[in-house]
Amino acid sequence: MDYQTFKYLLFAWMILAILVFPIAVRIAAPYGRHTRKGWGPEIDNRMAWMLMEMPALIIVVVLGLTGEVAPNRIIYFILGLWILHYGHRSFIFPFMLRTKGKKMPLSIMLSAIFFNLINGFFLGYYLGNFANYPLHYFSDPRFIIGLSIFFLGMFINMRSDYYLINLRKPGESGYKIPKGGLFDYVSCPNHFGEIIEWGGFALLTFCLPALSFYLWTMANLIPRTLNHHKWYQEKFENYPNNRKAVIPFIL
Ligand code: NDP
Q: Which is it for the CA torsion 117, 49, 188, 204, positive or negative? A: negative
Mean pLDDT of 85-106: 95
Q: For residue 178, give the ligand 1 atom closest to its CA.
A: 18
Residue in 103, 175, 187, 230 to alter for ligand 1 test, most ligand atoms within 8 A of Cβ: 175
What does pTM read for this prediction? 0.96
Q: For residue 33, give the ligand 1 atom closest to its CA.
A: 48
**Model confidence band, residue 6 (pLDDT cutoffs 50, 70, 90):** very high
Convert the pLDDT of each residue in 103-127 to its tens digit. Answer: 999 999 999 999 999 999 999 999 9
Mean pLDDT of 33-54: 94
Q: How far is the CA of 64 from the centre of ligand 1 (A)?
A: 29
User: Where does ligand 1 bind, in terms of residues with CB under 6 Å?
Assistant: 32-33, 97, 99, 102, 157, 161, 164-165, 167-168, 175-176, 178, 188, 190-191, 194, 217, 220-221, 224
